[in-house]
Structure 1
Amino acid sequence: MSSVAEGRITGSPVTSVTVGVLRTEDDVLIEAVYEPCTSGESDTAIVIAHGFTGSAGRPSVRRAARVFAGHAAVVTFSFRGHGGSGGRSTVGDREVLDLAAAVAWARSLGHRRVVTAGFSMGGSVALRHAALYGAVGAAHAVGFPPHAQAHGGHNGAHTDAVAAVSAPARWYYRGTPPMRRVHWVVTRPLGRLVGRYGFGTRIHHEEWDPVPLSPVEAVPLIAPTPLLIVHGHRDPYFPLDHPRMLAAAGPSELWLEPGMGHAENAADDALLDRLARWLVRA
């Protein structure tokens, strides 16, 4: 995982906006943006992992970055197949390598603590990343994408705390109309065309082989890293059994938010502020 090109807007990397192009372990180029803390120097950086069809430039991601920057430095990036990043989306599998590259980049810019906040698909990726790049996951190397089998928590790619917002607990869930539409986009040729030209998301045509470690299987491997699970009572994609399954699977803190819908679009500034405070203090 390395930064292969970057452009800075005045000053040093830790005091200015920095645009980076990161190379993942499986050789995919990922666009990323570093923004310093707006309230002064911070030894913590928050890495935001967006949801499916999102990107570093989406308004909801920019809003989250703005709120988080009041408490810590922020790294935003686009998952493979999204935004200006290369490759094709694997809908949560190899995306763990993208997040690992962004975390390692944040550490390379001088931050002692790097924490992750994932939304929806990004939440499932954040859970798997915390498990697979932590002490337990590195020892077992269960569910790693093949290129990452040997790396574990090396190269500064581990997280010091993780928050998963609106994340699924298990794969292949089709219990709600929105999730049935997502599966159509991902699994059908016409759906992938809609994803590409309608949502700007390039989706890989191959099925998972092997099936990656599920979010609920990842949770027991995360401790002792602090874990926060956040979910809305009105989430139209994943009902409340998903966060409850995640919270029951291992040490964690659970916030069930009345009136909240799904992911970064539904997280208001007050929730984002609380989330940032938790990540900085965890």
Structure 2
Amino acid sequence: MSSGPAGHVARSTVRPRGETGGRSPVRTFLRTADGVTIDAVYDPGATADDAAASPGSGPAFVIAHGFTGDADRPHVRRIAAAFARHGAVVTFSFRGHGASGGRSTVGDREVLDLAAAVAWARGLGHTRVVTVGFSMGGSVVLRHAALYGTGAGREHAARTDAVVSVSAPARWYYRGTAPMRRLHWLVTRPAGRLVGRYGFRTRIHPRQWAPVPLSPVEAARRIAPAPLLVVHGDRDGYFPVDHPRMLAEAAGDHGELWLEAGMGHAEHATGDELLGRIARWAAVRGG
């Protein structure tokens, strides 16, 4: 399952599912380049505090959740609320998750979902967009930036100005930890996919990748000139610390690594203080 040609920007069809006026959050369905409907939420956040502020006056954070998450999960809403103190926030459910259509390809075609969300943020008037991904979403933000262009690629409506990858793998097919061996069983076995559907509300595509998508570490090499922040916990049970070090090294001068003492994996392990630091980094580096 290939993610399609780089630069193929998704179109969106807006269908409100809640409050749409004033400064209230807006919920809609986006349509990806390959025709999948993606459930998405826009929160104007801190940019709406000043009545004179325009949407483009502050950054928009587009949050890419981890595998088995979705836009309505409490841990995703907590992440969104933390970033909303610093700017506008777009959250969405990857394909196969929550109310979105399709089936999960576990990081391959999900770049199209993220592209639709970024293009929506720019269509709402935001001139600075920062993508923030966790675990699977952390690998997706890396590949998205490599495929769709970054701060210098002004021809791409789905481009990003800065990238934050939290708890992401550096390479595919990693099975070196017990949690990753369980995840591979969930994805590759029919019984595992049934558990995914009914236990985790995640619909997983049965086909293997063909071709294998660009690896996260190779994507990190192609993100420049946009800045990349790699955040990882030294107690991450899924991916040991050689993964973030490989990503930061691949990014070269445009990469920065925060190895957080005592931190575990992804959204559940990312506290409000760390989220605030990430948002402040993005406000400076993503301008």
* Deviates most, 201-210 or 31-40: 31-40
Aligned partners of 1:215 and 1:246 also within 8 Å: yes
Residue from 256, 260, 277 that aligns with 1:274: 277
Equivalent residue, structure 1, for 2:59: 44
Tell me, in whole angstroms, the C-alpha distance in 2 between the residues paired with 1:98 and 1:171: 20
Aligned partners of 1:131 and 1:137 also within 8 Å: no
TM-superposition CA deviations, 1:139-196 (whole Å, max 9, x none): xxxxxxxxxxxxxx75510100000000000000000000000000000000000000
Equivalent residue, structure 2, for 1:11: 21
TM-superposition CA deviations, 1:31-58 (whole Å, max 9, x none): 0000012344443100000000000111
Does the C-alpha gap of structure 1 residues 10 and 87 become closer, same or farther in structure 2, counting only changes over 3 Å?
closer
Tell me, in whole angstroms, the C-alpha distance in 1 between the residues paired with 2:68 and 2:213: 20
Residue from 52, 56, 70 that aligns with 1:55: 70
Q: Does 1:67 align with 2:82?
A: yes
Other structure's SS at 2:76 match: helix
Residue 6 of structure 1: how far off its partner (Å)? 2.8
Equivalent residue, structure 1, for 2:97: 82
Q: Does 1:93 align with 2:94?
A: no
List aligned pairs for 1:73-222, cutoff 5 A: 73-134=88-149, 154-222=155-223
Equivalent residue, structure 1, for 2:7: none
Number of residue-to-residue matches in the alignment: 266
Residue 275 of structure 1: how far off its partner (Å)? 0.8
The letter for the 2-side match of 1:9 is E
Other structure's SS at 1:168 match: coil
Equivalent residue, structure 2, for 1:31: 39
Moved over 2 A (4+): 38-43, 135-138
* Deviates most, 245-254 or 96-105: 245-254
Aligned partners of 2:150 and 2:159 also within 8 Å: no
Tell me, in whole angstroms, the C-alpha distance in 2 between the residues paired with 1:130 and 1:49: 13
Tell me, in whole angstroms, the C-alpha distance in 1 between the residues paired with 2:60 and 2:99: 22
Runs of at least 5 residues in structure 1 that lack an aligned partner in the other structure:
139-152
Residue 5 of structure 1: how far off its partner (Å)? 2.7
TM-superposition CA deviations, 1:48-99 (whole Å, max 9, x none): 0000000011111100110100000000000000010000000000000000
Tell me, in whole angstroms, the C-alpha distance in 2 between the residues paired with 1:244 and 1:10: 43
Runs of at least 5 residues in structure 2 that lack an aligned partner in the other structure:
1-9
Aligned partners of 1:49 and 1:117 also within 8 Å: yes
Aligned partners of 1:31 and 1:84 also within 8 Å: yes
Aligned partners of 1:137 and 1:221 also within 8 Å: no
Tell me, in whole angstroms, the C-alpha distance in 1 between the residues paired with 2:155 and 2:33: 12
Equivalent residue, structure 1, for 2:4: none
TM-score, normalisation: structure 1 = 0.91
Residue 9 of structure 1: how far off its partner (Å)? 1.8
Other structure's SS at 2:14 match: strand
Other structure's SS at 1:6 match: coil
Equivalent residue, structure 2, for 1:145: none
Residue 129 of structure 1: how far off its partner (Å)? 0.4
Aligned partners of 1:117 and 1:126 also within 8 Å: yes
Residue 278 of structure 1: how far off its partner (Å)? 1.1
Identity within the alignment, %: 68
The letter for the 1-side match of 2:125 is G
Aligned partners of 1:6 and 1:18 also within 8 Å: no
Aligned partners of 2:32 and 2:112 also within 8 Å: yes
Equivalent residue, structure 2, for 1:257: 260
